[in-house]
Structure 1
Amino acid sequence: MASAAPQARLFTGAIDRSWGIASFTRLVSGREADLLDEGPLLEPPPQEVPEAQGIHAFPRGMHAGTCLHEIIEQVDFADLASAPEITQRRLRAYGINGFDDVVSENVRRLAALPLATGEDRFALREVPNESRIAELEFSFPIHRLTNARLAEAFALEQLPLPIERLQFQPINGFLTGFIDLTFEHAGRFYFADWKSNWLGPTTAAYRPAAIAAEMQRNFYTLQLCLYSVALHRYLRLRQPGYDFDRHFGGAFYIFLRGLDPAQPENGVHFERLSRGFVEKLSGVFE
């Protein structure tokens, strides 16, 4: 007698959908829009806009931005001899022509850019390759992360960040990400994040007030906070005798299209979070 054909059992259990891999992008993907912060709904009278030139005419979007990231990742800021060749090779790989000299000049500006922390002032060309890590990946466990718990931590720090606009379900699992550049200078550790956002056709569009608004609009301040926790945890594990006040330097958000030697404050946002806040936020994920 022939046996019955085997059949798969029907799964009737419940899967906890809160478990997964989270990232900055996931946390902000469902944020609410706030039309009141976006200015008037009616279009303003047309104004004459200067024609974009140089780095301001460089292609926009994720494809071009990734190309710039790869160039910066491969360049040795302390020795730019190979930078033009690296720039040309990556631009061709991405099908971008006519910007070799423009991007090479932008890389030189980035290497020489004065980075001010309030206590120190230095440039990336002073940081040797052995003191930097490009694309540092991090991943750490999170337990029952909600925007309410984030808001509780952010109440400690006066940051222009409307956490209540975030709309995500409670998350269990891991928070992961990549830090564009992590480096050490004069005994302190910093990280930098490159932004290729196009804010206008001249460097005047990248003044500190405009950069601050862009940081808030895109929730980059939240990203800065998450990455600060990641660096804090990394140093706690890897740096002998780690002390936040002595070793943690802060974060630079550098808007690549806004670099101007005549106005070095343009295109740069620096933030050094307090020890209490970083430790409180780190505890939110535990």
Structure 2
Amino acid sequence: MATPLILKTSLFSTRHIHHLHRYYPFSAILFFSTTSHKPPKLRSLKSIKMEGGNEITEEAKENVNQQQQKKKIFVAGATGSTGKRIVEQLLAKGFEVKAGVRDLDKAKTSLSENNPSLQIVKADVTAGSEKLVQAIGDDSEAVICATGFRPSWDLFAPWKVDNFGTVNLVEACRKLGVNRFILISSILVNGASMGQILNPAYIFLNIFGLTLVAKLQAENYIRKSGINYTIIRPGGLRNEPPSGNLVMESEDTLYEGTISRDLVAEVAVEALRLPESSYKVVEIVSRADAPKRTYKDLFGSIKQR
């Protein structure tokens, strides 16, 4: 650390101070006034520079503006039924959003291009991490993954999207230094270990290429990545508005129940705000008889594993 340089302000002009600043950091130069009869009062060069000429003041303002500039939240699968709701809620709560989509034409009809806080970019999670690095960019501070394969005869589709696609997103985050990742997964992904292998929902969801198994493998990859994650496992997804109150449990607890996509989106957005959601896997459904609780309380009740 540089040795503090003590200067009498009566002997130096602002021009001299500005010249000295080229060689000494703010924290290393201290001043006291000799024109007062009171005991010397230490003041930093930064405060004096702020009181100086217009050039210094404008520079300080620019630094403040850069610090206050909001970074974006990248949403993968932004035109999906849940992803679109996440985008809408992020925008409604004042976030800047970068919507990652596979089909730009579809995005233009389903997302509001007129919102200055929304940027739409092409992002195919199956295309590899390098292309995702370009899509996410260095102006994104968090990634929310709301992707999901479309049912087809391609039995590898769940693995391409829900497994390899999610892994590609995680790798892109690691390359960019993005340290916040939120995944929308599903209850029953670990149904075999829960003794739910004969559960009709577990059987049905695995018919199309072992979808739940693919999701579980992606979850495990995230947990080992070192990135600050929140994995959200919702029950059966409904398009209707929310009804009842949110139930949040720890992993491998819920094996039935439904929840509105709107409420899932809300949980994802709240996870961004609350440190209590960090490094946790939560399972969520809604029930009419459940007590109403705050998100801080809900996330705080879930223990890390």
TM-score (norm 1): 0.21
TM-score (norm 2): 0.20
Query: Which has the greater radius of gyration?
Result: 2
